Structure 1
Amino acid sequence: MNIYPVYLDYAASTPLDSRVKNKMLDVMNAAHLYANPSSLHIYGQKAKALIDTARLQIASYVGAEASEIIFTSGATESINLAIKGVASLLKRKGHHIITVKTEHKAVLDTCQHLEKIGYRVTYLTPHPTGRIDLDELLHAFSQETILVSVMQVNNETGVIQDLDAIAEATSSRSILLHVDAAQSIGKCKLDVSRTPIDLISFSSHKVYGPKGIGALYLRKKPRVRVEPLLHGGGHELGMRSGTLATHQIVGMGEAFQIAQQDFESDVLHIQQLHDKFLQALRMIRSIQITGDLQHKVPHILNIRFEGLLADALLNELSDVMAVSTGSACQTKEMSSSHVLRAMGLSTEQIKSAIRFSFGRLTTQDDISFVIDKMIKIFTRKS
């Protein structure tokens, strides 16, 4: 049964997969699995065993070891822990960090905070395609550089950065590389045994898992450590104190395992939705695609309807589909996309842009319904 308006905002958040929900319910309904997983008695150890399994499921997706995964409250905390934690631990080595102007606000705001306390941050300007210029990155390196932070997949455009080239540049200079992979899981391959990445931030709710839980990958060989943000118990290798939420972690682990198992079918399904939607739109109106179609994931499609205001168009389509003009993590006061502006778009172009994002539960009928309604609106306007 179709539900309207059609949800096309999967880049902001995904529904909880029924398989994930059932796994979490099993934990919540089981006797004594509420026990603290740090406790040494049998109930605590049973809870810990479930967490160990989830840790392995997450690690497996990126070719890591379970001991390289620590749990957090979400990708935002993971990003803060990675960037602030590295900056604090390596402050005697250097005070320079490199990132990109199109990064998520969790990265940019964290870097701006560090600037206020004496760190120097270089913000790379991407090409109009959304990808960074490797030569610009190489030019930005200095003796003081301790960290590069870059997202694999941009949350507003779906553009994929060349992590292999970036990682080669950082590892050859003994500079740590942090990757924001919130939009990557289930959409892109990521293998730390092949690509030398030092830290990776993960989200659960972007991959059909529960909200309120995330993870951070920390390379073991050589061991990467961070200065903790939270103190009080020394959990998670001493880098993230706090009692672990067993049912949330089990849900995240299951979501990552499903993403790995269903990767090919999910990508094929979403690519078909992407192509159908894009082809239909091009037949009814002149549109512009933001970002490089040759280097992007299919689940995000940023389209500019130049000559129209995106907010006005979305208002007319509010009963038809649920979409966004940009990141869900910005307040209304900050709603003008910093991503599109960094890519060189004008204010008028930015105001005409809508981000459509598809997911596992989006159907061909959903796309047909949305297109049919959009045709009627564009016909009235012509």
Structure 2
Amino acid sequence: MKIAYLDNAATTPLKKEVIQIMVNTLKDNYSFGNPSSTQHIYGRKSKSIIEESRLQISNHLHVSPSEIIFTSGGTESNNIILRSSVIYLKIQYIFTSSIEHVSVLKTILDLSYKYNIYVVYIHINHKGIVDINDLEQKLKKYSYNNKHKNILVSLMHANNEIGNLLDIENVGNLCHKYNAYFHSDTIQMIGNYPMNLQSSPFDFATASAHKFYGPKGIGFIFIRKQLIKQIKPLITGGYQEYGIRPGTENIYGIIGLSEALNLSSYNFDSYEKKMKQLKLYCISELKKNIPNIVFNGLSDTDQSIPSILNIFYPKKDHLLYFHLDLMGVAISKGSSCNSYNLKEVSHVIQSISDKKKLRTMTPIRISFGFFNEKTDIDLLIDAFIKIKN
């Protein structure tokens, strides 16, 4: 049976070149050494793999190698930034939205309890668009006559469930104007679309390799160079990763991440063009074959990333995902990090939907990837038609 994998926002398949370079490194007789054991060739070989990968990644993102800190992935990266900002940068106010990833929202909530941090939620409309005017009004209110930077704005670049793109330039300008730090969860962006972090307005950004055809369990943080020395480790035990992330590095994951980013960087234009074609084709076929379908967020490919499409299927059916799976279509209801209860609608969809839709319709996230073709969408549409009938 042909299977259509349409859950690429959750994770992507590894590219064969990534598998090959990881296998070659695993087989290398010298690269098993501890990268902190630089007294001998085994340790130096491992260390060189890490630093060459860091250099390659920094070149693609137009930043200094010292601004890239390797972690286990997006959740740890977001935690390090948010917790370090409160503990070491003395942040007192965190500005965010109700549609951020749970690794941001739950961490902020935990910090508010433990450190008496004041959380300010920026208004979003029914399409999931962040209200820039509301952001400015609230920044103006809480930064009034404030000389010390005690505000962190944490807003994701591309929403992982509905695909909306944030107006990062406007947000960045406001952060600069009102003396606030800017953290962005860029996990759906980095590795899939061109990014120049040097000219971006971010003070902190995060990435995860398994979102761009690399291995799971590896990611990195971008920290603006003037802030590196102010960020201290949250766990103790070593001086790896400039003392910010102690622990022996995941060498094979790092080289896999580097190769995945390298491959993506040479194909951004063709990848984006293909994703747009797939998304527009899927929208057209859904409208044609599924009456009363509702699109969540912004389906316009100029205002959302073309790899994510979120819909309300016009019938309430908690088993719809399983029916599609049995018919060879892999999709999701939303973020895989928050899918422990199949009957629970994601916080993102709850934030932008009215009660009638939540009660009578089923949310579905369709996310396209490098290995998808139009035939995968045809399989999805055929499955929907069979279920409907």
- Give the TM-score range, shorter chain: over 0.9
Match of 2:255 among 228, 250, 254: 250
Deviation, 1:203, is: 0.6
Match of 1:156 among 152, 161, 183: 161
Q: Secondary structure at the match of 1:158?
A: coil
| Cα distance between partner residues in 1 of 2:317 and 2:263 | 35
Q: 1:361 aligned to 2:371?
A: yes
| Cα distance between partner residues in 2 of 1:241 and 1:216 | 14
Paired residue for 1:298? 306
Deviation, 1:172, is: 2.7
Paired residue for 2:103? 106
Structure 1 residues 193-227: Cα deviation after superposition (integer angstroms, max 9, x where no partner): 22221111111111111111111011014656323
1:134-173 matched pairs, under 5 angstroms: 134-141=132-139, 142-143=142-143, 145-173=150-178
**Paired residues of 2:311 and 2:364 also in contact (CA < 8 A):** yes
Q: 1:78 aligned to 2:77?
A: yes
Give 1:15's aligned amino acid: P
Paired residue for 2:358? 349
Paired residue for 2:86? 87
Deviation, 1:61, is: 3.3
What runs of 5+ residues in structure 2 fail to find an aligned partner? 144-148
Return closer, same or farther for 1:164/1:189 CA change in 2, 3 Å cut-off.
farther
Structure 1 residues 147-189: Cα deviation after superposition (integer angstroms, max 9, x where no partner): 1111111111011111111111112333111110111124433
Paired residue for 2:35? 37
Q: TM-score, normalised by structure 2?
A: 0.91
| Cα distance between partner residues in 2 of 1:179 and 1:69 | 15
Give 1:78's aligned amino acid: S
Q: TM-score, normalised by structure 1?
A: 0.93
**Paired residues of 1:228 and 1:239 also in contact (CA < 8 A):** yes
Greater displacement, 12-21 / 133-142: 133-142
Paired residue for 2:62? 63
Deviation, 1:331, is: 4.2
Deviation, 1:33, is: 0.1
Return closer, same or farther for 1:9/1:224 CA change in 2, 3 Å cut-off.
farther
Paired residue for 1:127? 125
**Paired residues of 2:194 and 2:265 also in contact (CA < 8 A):** no
Q: Secondary structure at the match of 2:319?
A: helix
**Paired residues of 2:238 and 2:247 also in contact (CA < 8 A):** yes
| Cα distance between partner residues in 1 of 2:331 and 2:68 | 33
Identity of aligned residues (%): 34
Paired residue for 1:194? 199
**Paired residues of 1:130 and 1:159 also in contact (CA < 8 A):** yes
Structure 1 residues 324-349: Cα deviation after superposition (integer angstroms, max 9, x where no partner): 11111114348321111222432633
**Paired residues of 1:218 and 1:225 also in contact (CA < 8 A):** no
Match of 1:97 among 85, 94, 104: 94
| Cα distance between partner residues in 1 of 2:229 and 2:151 | 12
| Cα distance between partner residues in 2 of 1:209 and 1:347 | 40
Give 1:211's aligned amino acid: K
Deviation, 1:31, is: 0.9
Give 2:211's aligned amino acid: K
